[in-house]
Amino acid sequence: MNRNAKLILEMAVLCAGVGFVVSAGRAQSNAGAHAAAGTRAGQAGDKKAEEQFKNIQVLKGISADQLIPTMQFITASLGVECEFCHVQGAFDKDEKKPKQTARKMMEMMFAINADNFDRDRKVTCYSCHRGSTVPDGMPPVMSEEPKQAMGEPKKPEEPKQNAGPTAEQLLDKYVQAAGGAAAIEKITSRVMKGTIDFGGMSMPIDIYAKDPEKRISFTHTPGGDSVTAFNGHEGWLGMPGGGPIREMRGNDLDGAAIDADLHLAAHLKQMFSQTEVRETAKIGDRNAYLVVGERTGKPPVELYFDPQTGLLLRLVRYGETALGRLPTQIDYADYRDTDGVTIPYRWTLARPSGRFTIQVSEVQQNVPVDDGKFVKPTPPEAPKGPGK
């Protein structure tokens, strides 16, 4: 696979928000994670990893849909790809020593968390590795003079107290900044055209969204269209050049549902069981309020709001794995007033595996969008052999 083909494949994976790990010559499918999108995730997670994959040792008992995201957590934590531990084309084999070491490390990590943190995932691969295959066991030398005054004792870290607006006030301000609840709810469809920039490449993209919670994008690559779709209960990824689709599972469905909600600003309150303003954070050159929304049975969502405009600057959502949470960060910019609502014309999605930016050039709203666009393709029938 040449560099362009590899970049196209990786870009399609990122667009879907799917936890595949991609490298030259191969793409791992069956991505997903632990329980998500409410009942939309279905019972796909009922199948255990050892029932779907060969030679599962330490991770027995986790959902089959959670295995690949768990592997991605390891690759992101150590800065490696699948072949560091696995034999290409024979992932069940145990020939490579790093695979055997990884099993021991996971057992050690589980024991530490069980003995010290009530099995909460406080210690993970990333706690020590920080993007390196070998953790650094020595503290670094001081790179510059300490900034505190001579003789001044270092004060213990204290939680920042929020003296500003409440979470409810910030969510309400966002609704008003986006045009108001009435104007937001009037939007029934949105068609966007623009470009997607990834790995030094720029390609055209068309996005169709329709209420309730339907969204499909077509990235026009040199090898054909890359398709990312969600129809309210199913999500899938179609690769350039055709071939079988790859279905979204678990947390990927959860993220797709959030992305597909045309009325998200007005729906945030009902999405959360509890909200809290944690602190202020720097987003670019702006200080933003951080609101953390807790969700029943799902990872929290972090929302960063511009204190002046009230608009959403950043959304961070998490995917569950057996080892820890994988973040997906979306930064919103270039807000414009369009048909009475204020929407971002540019957003950047970043994950441990990469990032891309979509810049919208044209938007049409409340235009007809055929429901047929959101029908999942039927898998082709397997060829029948002689005498069957």
Q: pLDDT (tens digit, 9 = 90+) per residue, 321-375?
A: 999 999 999 999 999 999 999 999 999 999 998 899 999 999 999 999 999 999 9
In this structure, the chain runs to a length of 388
Please answer whether residues 49 and 34 qualify as being in contact, where contact means their C-beta atoms are separated by less than 8 angstroms. Answer: no
Q: Are 196 and 217 in contact (CB under 8 A)?
A: no
Q: What's the rounded Cα separation, in Å, for the pair 277 and 291? A: 4
In one letter, which amino acid is 38?
G
Report the pLDDT value the prediction gives residue 384, as an integer from 0 to 100.
58
361 CB contacts (<8 Å, ≥6 apart)?
A: 193, 194, 195, 345
Q: What is the mean pLDDT of residues 307-324?
A: 95
Reported pTM: 0.81
Neighbours of 166 (CB within 10 A): 13
Domain contains 249: no
Q: Which residue range(s) make up the domain with 121?
A: 3-129
Q: Confirm whether 214 is domain-assigned.
A: no
**Long-range contacts at 97-106 (CB < 8 A, ≥ 24 apart):** 98/133, 102/74, 103/57, 103/58, 106/58, 106/59, 106/323
Do 184 and 48 fall into the same domain? no
Q: Are residues 174 and 323 in the same domain?
A: yes
Residue where a domain terminates, one of 129, 148, 180: 129
Q: Which of 129, 122, 142 is nearest to 102 (CA)?
A: 129
Do 274 and 341 lie in one domain? The reply is yes
pLDDT digits 0-9 by tens, 62-92: 988 889 889 999 999 999 999 999 999 999 9
Report if residue 340 sits inside a domain: yes
Lowest-pLDDT range of 72-76, 184-188, 213-217, 342-346: 72-76
Say if residues 132 and 76 touch (Cβ distance below 8 Å): no
* Residues 310, 184 share a domain: yes
Final residue of a structural domain among 82, 106, 129: 129
Residue 327 burial class via C-beta count within 10 angstroms: exposed 0-12, middle 13-18, buried 19 and up: middle
Name the helix (H) or strand (E) containing 265: helix 264-271
Q: Per-residue confidence at 1, pLDDT binned at 50, 70, 90?
A: very low
Average pLDDT over the chain reads 84
Same domain for 67 and 186? no
What residue ranges in the chain does DSSP mark as E strands?
22-23, 26-27, 189-198, 201-210, 214-221, 224-230, 235-238, 246-247, 274-283, 286-295, 298-305, 312-320, 325-338, 341-351, 354-365
Return all residues near 341 (Cβ < 8 A) that are at least 6 apart.
178, 179, 183, 184, 187, 365
| 296 in a structural domain | yes
Answer whether residue 100 shows pLDDT above 90.
yes
pLDDT beyond 70 at 4: no
* Together in a domain, 86 and 180: no
| CATH code, domain carrying 39 | 1.10.468.10
Domain tally, the chain: 2
- Number of neighbouring beta carbons within 10 Å of residue 381: 6
**Cβ atoms within 10 Å of 277's Cβ, excluding its own:** 22
Residue 218 covered by a domain: no
Residue 39: band (very low, low, confident or very high) from pLDDT cuts 50, 70, 90: very low
Residues 113 and 185 in one domain: no
Q: What is the distance between the alpha carbons of residues 68 and 71, in angstroms, rounded to a whole number?
A: 5
Examine the domain organization and report whether 73 and 195 are in the same domain: no
Select the highest-mean-pLDDT range: 31-40, 47-56, 361-370. Answer: 361-370
Are 316 and 328 contacting, i.e. CB atoms less than 8 angstroms apart? yes
Among residues 76, 108, 129, the one where a domain terminates is 129
Coil vs helix vs strand at 125 = helix
Q: Is residue 78 part of a domain?
A: yes
| 3-state secondary structure at position 96 | coil
